[in-house]
Amino acid sequence: MQVTRDIFNDVMVPNYAPSDVIPVKGEGSRVWDQNGKEFIDFAGGIAVNCLGHCHPNLVNALKEQGEKIWHLSNVMTNEPALRLAKKLVDATFAEKVYFANSGAEANEAALKLARRVALDNYGAEKSQIIAFNKAFHGRTFFTVTVGGQAAYSDGFGPKPGDIDHVDYNDLAAFEAMISDKTCAVMIEPLQGEGGIISPTNEFMQGVRDLCTKHNAVLIFDEVQTGVGRTGDLYAYEGLGITPDILTTAKALGGGFPIAAMLTSTDIAKHLKIGTHGSTYGGNALACAVAEAAFDTVNTNEVLAGVKEREQLFREGFSAINAKYNVFSEVRGKGLLLGAVLTEDYAGRAKDFLVASAENGLMSLVAGANVIRFTPSLVIPLEDIKEGLNRFEKAVAQVVKG
Ligand SMILES: *Cc1c(COP(=O)(O)O)cnc(C)c1O
340 φ, ψ to 5°? -90, 130
How many angstroms is it from 84 CA to the middle of ligand 1?
20
Residue 256's pLDDT is 98
393 labelled catalytic: no
Region 331-339: what's the mean pLDDT? Answer: 98
170 φ, ψ to 5°? -110, 85
Catalytic one of 39, 132, 136, 373 = 136
**Do 168 and 62 share a structural domain?**
yes
Residue 191's pLDDT is 98
Taking Cα atoms as reference points, which of 148, 117, 118, 104 lies closest to residue 130? 148
Report d(CA 230, CA 60) in Å as an integer. Answer: 26
**Do 369 and 353 share a structural domain?**
yes
Domain boundary among 281, 297, 313: 297
For the stretch 42-76, pLDDT in tens is 999 999 999 999 999 999 999 999 999 999 999 99
Overall number of domains in the chain = 2
The residues, any chain, with a CB within 8 Å of residue 141's CB and separated by 6 or more, are 153, 156, 159, 160
- Threshold 0.85, pTM exceeds: yes
Task: Identify the band that residue 371 occupies on the pLDDT scale cut at 50, 70 and 90.
Answer: very high
**Do 48 and 72 share a structural domain?**
no
**Do 181 and 314 share a structural domain?**
no
**Do 270 and 283 share a structural domain?**
yes
| Segments forming the whole domain that contains residue 330 | 5-54+300-400
Helix (H, G, I), strand (E, B) or coil at 99: strand
Task: Identify the band that residue 335 occupies on the pLDDT scale cut at 50, 70 and 90.
Answer: very high
**Do 163 and 274 share a structural domain?**
yes
What CATH code is carried by the domain that includes residue 350?
3.90.1150.10
Domain boundary among 297, 327, 352: 297
Report d(CA 253, CA 294) in Å as an integer. Answer: 8
**Do 277 and 135 share a structural domain?**
yes
CA distances from 59 to 37, 64, 177, 189, 369 (A): 24, 9, 48, 31, 37
Residue 76's pLDDT is 97
Task: Identify the band that residue 389 occupies on the pLDDT scale cut at 50, 70 and 90.
Answer: very high
Using the atom order of ligand 1, give the atom closest to the CA of residue 224.
15
**Do 293 and 307 share a structural domain?**
no
Residue 12's pLDDT is 98
136 labelled catalytic: yes
